[in-house]
Structure 1
Amino acid sequence: MPADKHDLDACARLEAATDAQVVRCLPALLEWLQDINWPVALPIVRRLGRLGVQLAEPLRPILQGADGMWKYWLLAHLVPEAGSELVRALAGEIRRLAADPTPDDRQAEVHLAAAELLLLLPAGS
């Protein structure tokens, strides 16, 4: 777990961790993605992306929450990294965010990131 936003040594250890170890720390790791500009954020995105659809349930409450910028970073970076299976698992939330964004979501351009992810779904899904 990174001690601060510059703790790239922790990111190297995270890279070597098993999926089970990473999943145990998932809520805390997701918090590091509240600002993708932090140096630790993209290495965490790359490692968490390997979890794929396992991210669906931990992401759902964040996507239903009030932090538009956090939602944007997750939809623009983590969800695409994790792949289309995660997009399918979160399709209901993603559709809702694309079609009915809150004012904060709209300001953070969550609806645009969500609409882009919907393009990854097969027609009729």
Structure 2
Amino acid sequence: MLEGYEGFLPRNVYDVEKVPEIKKLDRDTQTSLLPDLLVFTQDMNWPVAPGILEILLTFPEEIVPHVQDVLSSNDDNWKWFLLHFLVINLPVESKVQFKDYLSKVAENPTKMELAEELDEIAKGILATLSL
């Protein structure tokens, strides 16, 4: 977490009052918060998650490396939420940056990726790239 930015972030997964405040911040400050905001998408059932997702989708290029970090982790449940709610809704120019990951999961999923049905959503996203 960036020093001095803690006050801008939701205090917990129920802190939906922070979302409108974050939306009012200047774009540079919002960009600095992206990695920390992404954490609130670990479960889209959390009350704060839909509002945070809305903010993240306004940064289609800037969010890519942070999402790639999660996709290279072992948190298959978080990957499911990111693919189903964030990546699929990004513009093609951003989605295409996940092509290698999506192709790997679609063609050769691990047991856990199969259990989370990541191969199916990966195939669906790949189809939207119309390559």
Q: Give the alignment's TM-score, normalised by structure 1.
A: 0.90
Q: Distance in 1 between matches of 2:105 and 2:29?
A: 31
Code of the residue aligned with 1:80 in structure 2: it is I
Instruction: Give the corresponding residue for 1:45.
Output: 53
Which stretch shows the higher mean deviation, 35-44 or 8-17? 8-17
Q: Point out which structure has higher relative CO (alpha carbons under 8 A, 6+ apart).
A: 1
5+ long unaligned stretches in structure 2: 1-8
Instruction: Give the corresponding residue for 2:4.
Output: none
Instruction: Give the corresponding residue for 1:6.
Output: 14
Instruction: Give the corresponding residue for 2:124.
Output: 116
Instruction: Give the corresponding residue for 2:75.
Output: 67
SS in structure 2 at match of 1:54: coil
Which stretch shows the higher mean deviation, 39-48 or 79-88? 79-88
Which stretch shows the higher mean deviation, 2-11 or 100-109? 100-109
The one of 75, 91, 101 equivalent to 1:93 is 101
The percent identity for this pair of structures is 25
| 1:17, distance to aligned residue in structure 2 (A) | 2.3
Of Structure 1 and Structure 2, the greater helix share is in: 1
Q: Distance in 1 between matches of 2:100 and 2:125?
A: 12
What number of residue pairs does the alignment pair up?
A: 123
5+ long unaligned stretches in structure 1: none
Give the number of the structure whose alpha-carbon radius of gyration is greater: 2
Q: Give the alignment's TM-score, normalised by structure 2.
A: 0.87
| 1:19, distance to aligned residue in structure 2 (A) | 2.7
1:33 aligns with 2:41: yes
